[in-house]
Every structure is written in C-alpha cells, then in structure tokens.
C-alpha cells in the first residue's frame, strides 16, 4: 500500500482522533505507559503516515520507501497504531502492547516490529541514525526522504546538536526533523529543567531551514511537510507546538502523565472523551 497522499485534512483529523482512542485502549489501565508524549505526537504521525510518507506496507523493505525514525522512542505506541492501520501488521496485535514476548515492546525494536527503521529509546540518537540513512540514500542514488521525530526535552542531549551540525554540513535536504514541542519533559517544563528556547533559532543557526507551527493543526502540518520537500541544499526542522496528553482532558499539559499507570476509572474517563471526539468528527470507534 502506498501512502495515501490524497487523504484530505478533515479525514486526517478524523483518523488522528481514532488513533488517539486506539492508543489509549491499547495502553489500558494498570500498566506504565508513556501517555503524554504519545498523544502530543499523534497528529504529526498521522500526517506523516497518511499524507506525506511514501511506502509499501506489503513490501516493507522496498528500497524507494521514505524512512521515519522515532527518535523519542518512548512514544512508540502512537507509531504502532499508525503502522497497524497502514497494514504493516494487524490491528488486533495492538492488544499485545508491552506484553512479554510481544512484537510491540515499550520502545522500538526493528527486529521485532514490521515497518520500523531504527531501534530508539535512548534519547538523542535518532537524528544521527537519520543522517546515516539520508547519506546512504544519496550514495545509492535513491530519492527517498528521511524524517525524524524528536522530543523537546530530548533536544537537551548534546548528540542532537552534533547530528544537526552534520546534517547541515552534508546539505541533507532530503531530511526533515519534527520536534514535538509540548513544553514538558519527564519531570516538568523544559524551560525550568534545562532551557531549550529559542528552539527554531537554534536549528537555523546550525544551518537548517526552520519553521514553527501548531502541531495540532493538520493543515499547518501538511503544509510544512510539503514545503520541506521544496527546500534545497539544507535540511528542514519543523518545531511543532503541541500539548502533552492532547485529547485526554485530565492529562493535557500535565507533566504527571509522562509515564504512568492509569486507574480503571481514569481509563474509562479518557476513553469516553476520546470516543466523543471521534463521534463528533464522524469517525469509527
């Protein structure tokens, strides 16, 4: 299956609502999961997998496929839902999330999960991997694009900036970084723990094209991804302002829902809210 480039913005919004519901259902109650950072990144992942990326789910190793590296690997439940919906594996498998022996572990393992391009979870490393993939594409004469999704707390890792310098040095214009700028890391606001602003300005100063957008505005995400494809001789960073825990009212903007075990009551409340949103947008729950 190829990426569905003709999927309109309204349909993407509907799918994002359904994906959020599937994430929370798959996580369930009574087990630790990275709720906040999975829900903040959902719209970005939906825009990538249902609009921007070129791939063949029935031929996952197709050399011409675009590559996506989830550098903030702890948000992988959101990626699993997108991969399942795209046909890389069955949606029923989502019920095995983080179970012993499951193909869907708490951090990405490309040896286990169809559709993954890299093992991540140790923060700071994904952009270096993406650089290597982009350089390999160039040396092989393949025209695929490479995307990496980073957390804003992750941008405190020194390796991110070594990699950013490298991407610009090699003029990797096939490379696009998305930063999930939800303003929170594990233990509180980024600007209190270790300031990352001015973030877009930092990417520019490293030789990147950089734009700031609302990371929950599907049109803005699609536009930024399209624009990135037209930039020549330098990579593009899309700093996407998001809300941690987006879609679950009692999680939104709260650092206490970074990696948590929710109760049955909290799960029910979360699912009811997400189902209402899906119904509002005319989706299927």
Positions in the binding site for ligand TPP (CB under 6 A): 36-37, 40, 72, 74, 121-124, 151-154, 180, 182, 184-186, 244, 258
C-beta of residue 107 within 8 angstroms of C-beta of residue 120: yes
**Tokens standing for residue 87:** 């046909």
Strands (E), 143-258: 146-151, 175-181, 184-185, 188-189, 209-214, 236-241
C-beta of residue 11 within 8 angstroms of C-beta of residue 272: no
The whole-angstrom separation of Cα 115 and Cα 67 is 9
DSSP 76-136: HHHHHHHHHHHTSS-GGGGGGTT-TT-SS-SS--TTTSTT------STT-HHHHHHHHHHH
Closer to ligand TPP by Cβ: residue 93 or 183:
183
The whole-angstrom separation of Cα 228 and Cα 222 is 10
Work out how close the CB of 190 gets to ligand TPP at its nearest, in angstroms, rounded to a whole number.
6
Work out how close the CB of 137 gets to ligand TPP at its nearest, in angstroms, rounded to a whole number.
26
Work out how close the CB of 79 gets to ligand TPP at its nearest, in angstroms, rounded to a whole number.
13
Closer to ligand TPP by Cβ: residue 72 or 241:
72
Work out how close the CB of 169 gets to ligand TPP at its nearest, in angstroms, rounded to a whole number.
24
Question: How large is the C-alpha radius of gyration of the chain?
Answer: 18
* Nearest residue to the partner ligand TPP, using Cβ: 151
Work out how close the CB of 2 gets to ligand TPP at its nearest, in angstroms, rounded to a whole number.
29
Three-class HEC string of 125-158: CHHHHHHHHHHHHHHHCCCCCEEEEEECCHHHCH
The whole-angstrom separation of Cα 144 and Cα 19 is 26
The whole-angstrom separation of Cα 93 and Cα 105 is 11
Closer to ligand TPP by Cβ: residue 27 or 57:
27
Closer to ligand TPP by Cβ: residue 123 or 130:
123
Closer to ligand TPP by Cβ: residue 3 or 248:
248
Closer to ligand TPP by Cβ: residue 87 or 188:
188
Closer to ligand TPP by Cβ: residue 36 or 273:
36
Work out how close the CB of 224 gets to ligand TPP at its nearest, in angstroms, rounded to a whole number.
18
Work out how close the CB of 179 gets to ligand TPP at its nearest, in angstroms, rounded to a whole number.
9
Largest CA distance in the chain: 54
């Amino acid at each position: 299956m190829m990426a569905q480039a003709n999927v309109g913005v309204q349909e993407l919004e509907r799918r994002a609502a359904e994906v959020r519901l599937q994430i929370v259902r798959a996580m369930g109650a009574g087990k630790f999961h990275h709720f906040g950072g999975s829900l903040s990144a959902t719209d970005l992942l939906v825009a990538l997998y249902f609009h921007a990326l070129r791939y063949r789910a029935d031929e996952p190793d197709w050399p011409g496929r675009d590559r996506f590296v989830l550098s903030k690997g702890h948000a992988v439940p959101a990626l699993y839902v997108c991969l399942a919906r795209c046909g890389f594996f069955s949606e029923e498998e989502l019920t095995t999330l983080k179970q012993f022996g499951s193909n869907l572990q708490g951090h990405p393992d490309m040896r286990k999960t169809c559709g993954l391009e890299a093992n991540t979870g140790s923060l700071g490393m994904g952009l270096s991997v993406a650089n290597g993939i982009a350089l390999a594409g160039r040396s092989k004469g393949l025209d695929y694009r490479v995307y990496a999704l980073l957390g804003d707390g992750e941008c405190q890792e020194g390796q991110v900036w070594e990699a950013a310098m490298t991407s610009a040095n090699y003029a990797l214009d096939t490379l696009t970084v998305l930063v999930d700028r939800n303003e929170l890391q594990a233990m509180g606001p980024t600007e209190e723990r270790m300031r990352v602003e001015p973030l877009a300005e930092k990417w520019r100063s490293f030789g990147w094209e950089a734009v700031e957008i609302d990371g929950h505005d599907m049109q803005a995400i699609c536009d930024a991804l399209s624009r990135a494809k037209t930039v020549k001789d330098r990579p593009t960073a899309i700093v996407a302002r998001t809300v941690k825990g987006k879609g679950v009212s009692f999680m939104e903007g709260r650092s206490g829902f970074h990696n948590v075990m929710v109760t049955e009551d909290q799960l029910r409340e979360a699912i009811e809210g997400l189902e209402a949103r899906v119904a509002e947008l005319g989706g299927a729950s």
